[in-house]
Chain A
Amino acid sequence: MLHNLFIGELAERLVKRQISSVELTRHFLSRIERLNPALNAFITLTAERALEDAAAADARLGKGEKGPLLGIPLIHKDIFCTSGVKTSCGSRMLDNFVAPYDATVVARLKGAGTVMLGKSNMDEFAMGSSNETSYYGPVRNPWDISKVPGGSSGGSAAATAARLAPVATGTDTGGSIRQPAALTGVTGLKPTYGRVSRYGMIAFASSLDQAGVFARCAGDAAAVLQAMAGFDPRDSTSVDVPVPDYSKALGAPLKGLKIGLLREFFDGLEPRNAALIEEALNIYTGLGAETREVSLPRLPLSVPTYYVVAPAECSSNLSRFDGVRFGYRCKDPKDLLDLYKRSRGEGFGAEVKRRIMTGTYVLSAGYFDAYYLKAQKARRMITDDFRAAFEKVDLVIGPTTPTPAFDIGAKMNDPVLMYLNDIYTIGANLAGLPGVSVPCGFVDGLPMGLQLIGPHFAEAKLLNAAHQYQQATDWHKHAPRGYE
């Protein structure tokens, strides 16, 4: 079936005119129509526009144009501004917001000939690890609809796992691509901070946010990253480093690759989860890689550090949502203060408010040094630990999450328990490193992820390591029942 093909195969059929982009698009649109109601993976469907985009791609194909993404359907996380299309960021605050411009990621992928099927559901302003904080309701995990898909990019992950699109974009501030990728059994890549432009991506925590991709294999992720990556003069934090040919890098043998096992990741790891990682290590050893243990002694500071830095930045980033120029405005404000208080009080959900308050607190006079400055120091230490590790090894490896997908509602009343979901993913964000999660087996019938983290701008190496693993295994080919 078409929806089980990887985009390399789809692109070949498109180029050979064995199938048109319009047909391919219709195929996915009909799957969405049939399967999405149980999943709630979308906030906005853009069927009409998708068919127009597909027709345009077909015209380009008809002229003999080729491209790895030309005519390929995808889904954008609803955090990316899409011109003329509602961009809600999962929030009531932006339920009425139609973006007047395209994010750089959206523009680049559009230029590459992709077809946007719609905008995916997400945790409100990307704050959450279960996709339960969305104003549009929780997304359900296609492996078990009583479970969460992870978050914040839960819609993109669930849709990719359910084969509602071959690929989807996401963003990862503390694990928001890798964690849901792990919990839904797909491949999720978070590039190096600065590799992909943040322009047009609604900010949560500016120094941590990075756009990335969900795909069903590392090769597909490489093709999408290729189109997304690169310096953008409109984002001062994007880095002007040449973009290598990621797809070409996928052939390299792993012989001699030094993989570090993160000791801190294995301490106290659930035995079945640990067993899956052990098994993956055996695969890598079989492929010629060398493994050794490395320690990042300050990595356990990641979660508390993150929950100071990210809220601090978000408390400021979200100040622009004030009911004055766009977005939600309360009814009949009696004065300016009332306008601010009620627009924000009614427009934001509980988790967003919690983080704004936390962030406001840690930046306040008298607390700034104790929290914000200390967190910045801890962040430098964690980065230093990674740097030291990468002097000894090429990549580090560990689990993506401590547990498989949990029940919807299970952790909503315990923020700290929820935050601990990101215990293995946050380090890469704090250090700005690229990370990828690939499916590595099942616990209780639910998919688990293997996480690889590399040095800055080592996406090619990372994707190749993931690709080689997927050549030797077939975990990434498993489809949830009912979505095969």
Chain B
Amino acid sequence: MNNWEVVIGLEIHAQLATKSKIFSGSATAYGAPPNTQADLVDLAYPGVLPVLNARAVQMAVKFGLAIDATVARRSVFARKNYFYPDLPKGYQISQYELPVVARGTLKVMLDDGSVKTVGITRAHLEEDAGKSLHEGLPHATGIDLNRAGTPLLEIVSEPDMRSAKEAVAYMKKIHTLVRYLEICDGNMQEGSFRCDANVSVRPKGEEKFGTRAEIKNLNSFRFVEKAIQYEVARQVELIESGGKVVQETRLYDSDKDETRSMRSKEEANDYRYFPDPDLLPVVVDEMFIEAVRATLPELPDQKAARFAKDFALSAYDAGVLSASRELGAYFEAVIAGLGASHAKLAANWVMGELSSALNRDNIDIANSKVNPRALTGLLKRIVDETISGKIAKEVFEAMWSEGKAADAIIEAKGLRQITDSSAIEGVIDSVIAANPKQLADYRSGKDKLFGFFVGQVMKATGGKANPAQLNELLKTKLGGGNA
């Protein structure tokens, strides 16, 4: 395994967030009853013609600008011809030789904190096909054309990724970017964001690429990682046992965690691409491009750099906090109330308690049960030492479930921190008195028992003793030890 290098390129399909389809006036909303969002154009009735949705072009250009790509002044729609029941025209309108976006790059941060630049060969506009339905239809196949004609941006990377993890990191970055740009809702369950992975292996040091297999239609980051890992292992095993990888399309079965052959290149279609004579070349001028550029938001990398600089955060923290526009906005709202000097505290809470609560209850940050203002209210009490960080977690949970402000919960539950030295000393004295054996052991060198006494005092005070003061006082009281 160590003698092999993995080569991965991804083709990501991002469904563009237009209200209507790319060539018809039908709505694109997800989940409508079958065929209620398909008009005569989507059904490919005789005589109908496609008309390009300009919003889709704007979105593609926006993406191109965000990855510093070449935006083609002239791009061409072509027909990809093949027969399939969910493809009503018998061809898919796509871009072939002249895509709208070419030659961009994307910086991706890897787990080890290093940054990798991935080349993006092209991004082109195309229409989605419909869906074939089999459930509940014995001896028949249903066709739902609601999805037919939905605009897609197909983003094709260079074969630059060298591991499944890199591929996932790249895909996540694209996912972040398209949501930042508000050109795709990124919903992977609904298929709004999915990818095909081209995977090959070659002996380390070899320049020539190995034969690749294409794994189709991966719709979760986890599946991308697992499918690539399986596929790499399969190819290595195959070659090492004297076999040869064949160029083919494979499907990932998530239940069995394996990829299976779908069709080999020999039986592949000849798509007979040619320019679609129903559509004029898409011509975008400088003015159009500049108008789109003006709508670009602060991009993830820009935001991360600003967070790192303005708030003295690590590159990792800055990266996590800028992973979505909403998260970044939440964080900045907290900073606004709390002050930039407490950015690290805010960062830890947003990435820690808040994120895990959101994940646990599976809700997104826009609907968070604790809003930025409420969280700021809580963090202020840590800053002014009304409560300890530990108590704050308890308060946060209460805020999350009861929806009340931090102060109200602190008061109602009497969680205010005890900072009165004599009160803490009193508790320490009674704890020491109640545990003579532990005291003796501690004094005879069992330093670890210091924690035992801290715990006992905290228990007795309901966790409210100021931790720094408690440490200080306990050290003095226990004396004799080495602490």
Contact = CB atoms under 8 A, between A and B. Distances in A.
Interface of A: 80-81, 87, 89, 94, 97, 99-101, 103, 198-203, 205-207, 233-237, 312-313, 315-316, 318-322, 324-327, 336, 340, 360, 363-365, 368, 372
Contacts of A89: 46
A203 B47 contact: yes
Interface stretch (B82-90, B175-183, B315-323): B82-90
A326 B45 contact: yes
Contacts of A324: 85, 88, 143
Given A201-B47, A324-B143, A319 B85 contact: no
Contacts of B272: 315-316, 360, 363-365, 368
B49 interface: yes
A80 B43 CA distance: 18
A128 B141 CA distance: 37
A248 B359 CA distance: 74
Given A199-B47, A199-B48, A316 B274 contact: yes
B278 A237 contact: yes
Contacts of B143: 324
B90 A100 contact: no
A94 B45 CA distance: 11
Nearest to B85: A324
Contacts of B51: 233-236
B48 to A, nearest CB: 7
Nearest to A205: B277
A343 to B, nearest CB: 11
Contacts of B44: 320, 325
Contacts of B45: 81, 99-101, 325-326
B274 A368 contact: yes
Contacts of A94: 46
A340 B84 CA distance: 10
Contacts, number: 100
A315 B48 CA distance: 17
Contacts of B91: 316, 319
14 contacts: A100-B40, A201-B47, A203-B46, A235-B49, A235-B51, A236-B49, A237-B278, A322-B83, A326-B46, A327-B46, A336-B141, A363-B81, A363-B274, A364-B270
Interface of B: 40, 43-52, 79, 81, 83, 85, 88-91, 141, 143, 270, 272-274, 277-280
Given A99-B46, A325-B43, A372-B274, A320 B280 contact: no
A198 B49 contact: yes
Nearest to B81: A316
A234 B277 contact: no
B81 A236 contact: no
Given A199-B49, A320-B44, A368-B272, 15 more contacts: A99-B47, A100-B45, A200-B47, A206-B277, A206-B278, A237-B279, A315-B272, A319-B81, A320-B90, A322-B85, A325-B45, A325-B88, A327-B46, A363-B272, A368-B274
Contacts of A99: 45-47
Given A236-B52, A237-B280, A202 B47 contact: yes
Contacts of B40: 100-101
A135 B48 CA distance: 23
A236 B83 contact: no
A81 B46 contact: yes
A236 B280 contact: yes
Given A97-B46, A236-B52, A322 B90 contact: yes
A202 B46 contact: yes
Would you list the 4 A-B pairs with minimal beta carbon distance, nearest first?
A319-B90, A363-B272, A206-B277, A207-B277
A133 B70 CA distance: 50
A207 B275 CA distance: 10
A389 B432 CA distance: 111
A81 B47 contact: yes
Nearest to A232: B49
Given A237-B278, A364-B270, A365-B270, A320 B49 contact: no
A80 B44 CA distance: 15
Nearest to A313: B277
B85 A336 contact: yes
Contacts of A202: 46-47
B90 A316 contact: yes
Nearest to B83: A340
B278 A236 contact: yes
A483 B229 CA distance: 81
A3 to B, nearest CB: 31
A199 B40 CA distance: 12
B76 to A, nearest CB: 12
Of B45, B81, B91, chain A has the most CB atoms within 10 Å of the CB of B45
B83 A319 contact: yes
B88 A320 contact: yes
B149 to A, nearest CB: 14
A388 B85 CA distance: 47
A444 to B, nearest CB: 39
